[in-house]
Structure 1
Amino acid sequence: MILRSLLSPLERCLGVSGGGDVLMWHADLRSHASGDYSIAVVQANNNLEDQSQVFTSPIATYVGVYDGHGGPEASIFVNKHLFPFLHRFATEQGGLSADVIKKAFNATEEEFLHLVKQSFPLRPQIASVGSCCLVGAISNDVLYVANLGDSRVVLGRRASKDKKNMVVVERLSQDHNVGVEEVRKEVEALHPDDSHIVVYTRGVWRIKGIIQVSRSIGDVYLKKPEFYRDTMFRQLGNPVPLKRPVITSEPSILVRKLKPQDLFLIFASDGLWEQLSDEAAVNIVFKNPRTAIAKRLVSAALKEAAKKREMKYADIKKIEKGIRRHFHDDITVIVVYLDQHRDSCNYRVKQNVSGCTTAPVDIYSFNADEANR
């Protein structure tokens, strides 16, 4: 079946380290059914909160970027459970669809809620752990994009036949971040009786002064008031009392037929987009060789972060994890090239592309292990 390879052990999917930066990891170039893909990750937090994966089969490609907050538990959980749920529902319903993807997101959310309930007596803080979730799936020349939070996918497509040296930038996902006025109004409209549902604090807009994203997996205490009311949880801090859920796990879904002029997709956590515009990222991919292209994008973001602090890029690379979070966020980038669908008359599916690539759960530990072998 389409997603049979998704059940392979994740441990076999690891790639290569990042060379000069002990907190960088990348894998280049690997094949998928419609072309090549490249992946790179840089760690800033003490515990890497970004998790990511690419699964390939001869007839489909699946991409996941999961940006955790409050800890890595939710993003690691999504990395292990979302695609198997996707496989199960796609098998039951005879293929991919928006409904299949929604069911997989909902099942992942429910399973994580079950984990939180089990763990809560010993680890009440797990109720405040969550993850953004960005998924792309390509099957039969159709692209599906599902998104929770503010990770983002951007398309680069050729402008026109007479402008072959130009690229058009198209954002394919919506940032569910209340820093975006449209999202802020959406949240306010859902809570007409609460004039303080979104407040400006610590330099940004936040729901109840707590969280920027309006959709996620996890963050159970913002969805289930009974967790907030629990004495053990309240001892951890002083969150604002909630009458009802203030964020949701309902993904935005885009379904798009791929076109001959579509060249590549950039999937990335918000760590990249905090440093680079959509246009800057797309132009880097368009104007440079494919080899190590995801790593090139991460490096460009780090150079921009260094520039903001009037530092050199080499100095950023010397900063330890944890402390480094003051300079930039965890950054995950996956670049997916779109080749085969552009020549439908001679379309031939690649036969030897089954497999997976999963970034290490912790880049620093992975590179340390590699160095000690």
Structure 2
Amino acid sequence: MNCSNINIVFNTCAKIDRSLRQKLSSIWYKSYVLGDRTRYFHSSRTICQTQKDDVEVLLSPQEVTVILRKNEFNKDFSHGSVKSYDSNQLQSNDPIEDTRCEAQCKMTPGLLMGVFDGHGGPACAQVVSKRLFKYIAAALLPQELLENYIKQEPRELLIDTFNDRAEIVQDLKFIYDKSFNEYLSKLSNTAKDEIDVKVCLEKSIMHLDEDLSREVVEPFKENGTMTEDNEWVARKITKEHNTENFDELKRIWNEHPDEERKTVIRRDRLLGELAPLRSLGDCRYKWKAEILSEVAVPLIGQKAIPANYYTPPYLTAKPDVYYHRLTPKDKFLIIASDGLWDMMTPLQSVKLVGEHMKGKVFFNPLQLPKKNIQLGDINELLLHRKESLKSKPKDRNAATHLIRHAIGGTEYGIDHSRLAHLLSLSSDVSRMFRDDMTVTIVYFDSEFLRQCPA
């Protein structure tokens, strides 16, 4: 955002009330985000900041660190291709609309990890994070195991989740269990000689989306890689499902009549409203107009039916599934919501995590490499460690390290003033400058991968 854009922010936010406009009139300042993109950020005082003798006092470095580390989590594994993972979240919306989930399949090998970026509220993302991995784990069961599982009473858990603090209320749990049992029945009636992971992922995601839609309507009816030169390279695994992806635009255009070409995508959004072109939920862009009239219009009015809504569905939950075989050169995987990618490029994030990997060894006590080591060797080792300590990161958790740099990073390092200002913004202002951030970094075991058969 350059200076000429600042007024545009105010002009396009017509619903900002007078008190918020007054908040926005205090401090603007200029900074650089890990590269050459100039950005201007506004600061307003909130309860996180205090005044002393009419002078505004910033959050201290310790207070900033407490905020950044509030949702940290890390998990180590004793065997397999994944050695450990770090995760963290920093909200901008209140409540946060991002959710994340990590789990291990109990009846088949494999880890499941996901970041779910909600919009218009947190509810759908929360429900998907609680339910999706069970659908995927069930789809991955061989036929015999699936049939045995269905017969179990009580059934063992399909997955072990980590850092799962949320509980589903009992009345919703009953509905979700009913849908899941019907899903299991359909799976068992579809004979499969072998497991096709791509197909299993697609079907489980699509089926959950169908269940989400049906569960709403039914009541109304009833009533990171390294090169040979040890330079970090970011290998992008996924593609965005938005208007910057021309293949997505062509898919949307081909699914609707030519006369809708100018209306199906407007202002870089689906029907001029929705930024993502694929998603779970968002039934307003999937249901027939008659169902919207019956279910949604009585609740939120005629605006429930988008303009130019002629040939639904306009939105799909069908995923793009990518396969990448891990090699010893693959060191880690970064999964993050676009709150992170709005602030830094994939290569910048990979370099930061790579530097963090080298520096975090200094969180552990010094261990001498061998017995009978000479005093001279110890002295040389200590001198090297002292010099290397300069690269020790502030945060042990790499997800926190990325979030800290995404918000406060400049080409000269971390700008505490900027970091403190942005973390002090109230939620009504914060959303104008950054999105919720959720980051999971998965570390691979290079030695395990080196010994795996090709």
On whether the aligned pair clears a TM of 0.5, the verdict is yes
More helix by share: 2
The separation in 2 between residues aligned to 1:346 and 1:180, in whole angstroms, is 36
Aligned to 1:296: 401
The separation in 2 between residues aligned to 1:346 and 1:206, in whole angstroms, is 45
Alignment partner for residue 190 of structure 1, among 244, 255, 277?
255
Give the Å deviation of 1:183: 2.3
Aligned to 2:246: 181
Aligned to 1:228: 292
SS in 1 for 2:313: coil
Contact between 1:40 and 1:333, CA under 8 Å: does it hold in 2?
yes
Alignment partner for residue 427 of structure 2, among 321, 331, 338?
321
Cα offsets for 1:246-289 (capped at 9, x unmatched): 11111000122111211110001111111111111111111113
Contact between 1:113 and 1:218, CA under 8 Å: does it hold in 2?
yes
Aligned to 2:441: 335
SS in 2 for 1:252: coil
Aligned to 1:214: 277
Alignment partner for residue 55 of structure 1, among 85, 103, 109?
103
Equivalent position amino acid for 2:76 in 1: R
Unaligned 5+ segments in structure 1 are: 1-17, 122-155, 348-373
Aligned to 1:39: 87
Alignment partner for residue 130 of structure 2, among 70, 80, 93?
80
Give the Å deviation of 1:188: 2.0
Give the Å deviation of 1:327: 1.8
Equivalent position amino acid for 2:325 in 1: K
Contact between 2:330 and 2:446, CA under 8 Å: does it hold in 1?
no
What does 1:362-373 correspond to in 2, within 5 Å?
A: none
The separation in 1 between residues aligned to 2:322 and 2:118, in whole angstroms, is 22
Cα offsets for 1:128-152 (capped at 9, x unmatched): xxxxxxxxxxxxxxxxxxxxxxxxx
Contact between 1:74 and 1:218, CA under 8 Å: does it hold in 2?
yes
Cα offsets for 1:103-132 (capped at 9, x unmatched): 2102211221123225679xxxxxxxxxxx
Equivalent position amino acid for 1:195 in 2: R
Cα offsets for 1:133-190 (capped at 9, x unmatched): xxxxxxxxxxxxxxxxxxxxxxx11111xx12x0121100110011333322332232
Give the Å deviation of 1:229: 2.9
Contact between 2:68 and 2:400, CA under 8 Å: does it hold in 1?
no
Structure 1 residues 158 and 232: alpha-carbon distance in aligned structure 2, compared to 1, 3 A threshold = same
Give the Å deviation of 1:195: 2.2
SS in 2 for 1:193: helix
* 2:346 counterpart of 1:278: yes
Aligned to 1:169: 234
Contact between 1:221 and 1:227, CA under 8 Å: does it hold in 2?
no
Structure 1 residues 341 and 67: alpha-carbon distance in aligned structure 2, compared to 1, 3 A threshold = farther
Aligned to 1:91: 141
Aligned to 1:142: none
* 2:167 counterpart of 1:102: no
Question: Which of 1 and 2 has greater Rg?
Answer: 2
The separation in 2 between residues aligned to 1:268 and 1:208, in whole angstroms, is 27
Structure 1 residues 256 and 172: alpha-carbon distance in aligned structure 2, compared to 1, 3 A threshold = same
Structure 1 residues 118 and 47: alpha-carbon distance in aligned structure 2, compared to 1, 3 A threshold = farther
Structure 1 residues 120 and 179: alpha-carbon distance in aligned structure 2, compared to 1, 3 A threshold = farther
Equivalent position amino acid for 1:228 in 2: L
The separation in 2 between residues aligned to 1:288 and 1:120, in whole angstroms, is 53
SS in 1 for 2:425: coil
Aligned to 2:189: none
Aligned to 2:364: none
SS in 1 for 2:426: coil
The separation in 1 between residues aligned to 2:261 and 2:401, in whole angstroms, is 44
Cα offsets for 1:212-245 (capped at 9, x unmatched): 1110001111011234333315616262133221
More strand by share: 1
Unaligned 5+ segments in structure 2 are: 1-63, 144-193, 361-395
Which deviates more from structure 2 when the two are superposed, residues 42-51 or residues 22-31?
22-31
Contact between 1:261 and 1:342, CA under 8 Å: does it hold in 2?
no
Structure 1 residues 24 and 321: alpha-carbon distance in aligned structure 2, compared to 1, 3 A threshold = farther
SS in 1 for 2:67: coil
Cα offsets for 1:19-70 (capped at 9, x unmatched): 5217951113533732110001011111211110111369422101111111
The separation in 1 between residues aligned to 2:246 and 2:293, in whole angstroms, is 31
Contact between 1:65 and 1:268, CA under 8 Å: does it hold in 2?
yes
Contact between 2:227 and 2:329, CA under 8 Å: does it hold in 1?
yes
The separation in 2 between residues aligned to 1:343 and 1:195, in whole angstroms, is 48
Contact between 1:50 and 1:331, CA under 8 Å: does it hold in 2?
yes
Alignment partner for residue 245 of structure 1, among 302, 313, 333?
313
SS in 2 for 1:195: helix
Contact between 1:196 and 1:208, CA under 8 Å: does it hold in 2?
no
TM-score under structure 1 normalisation?
A: 0.70
Equivalent position amino acid for 1:302 in 2: I
Structure 1 residues 234 and 261: alpha-carbon distance in aligned structure 2, compared to 1, 3 A threshold = same
Aligned to 1:117: 217
TM-score under structure 2 normalisation?
A: 0.58
What does 1:305-316 correspond to in 2, within 5 Å?
A: 312-316=418-422
Give the Å deviation of 1:92: 4.0
Contact between 1:26 and 1:40, CA under 8 Å: does it hold in 2?
yes
Structure 1 residues 313 and 117: alpha-carbon distance in aligned structure 2, compared to 1, 3 A threshold = same
The separation in 2 between residues aligned to 1:322 and 1:181, in whole angstroms, is 33
The separation in 1 between residues aligned to 2:242 and 2:116, in whole angstroms, is 15
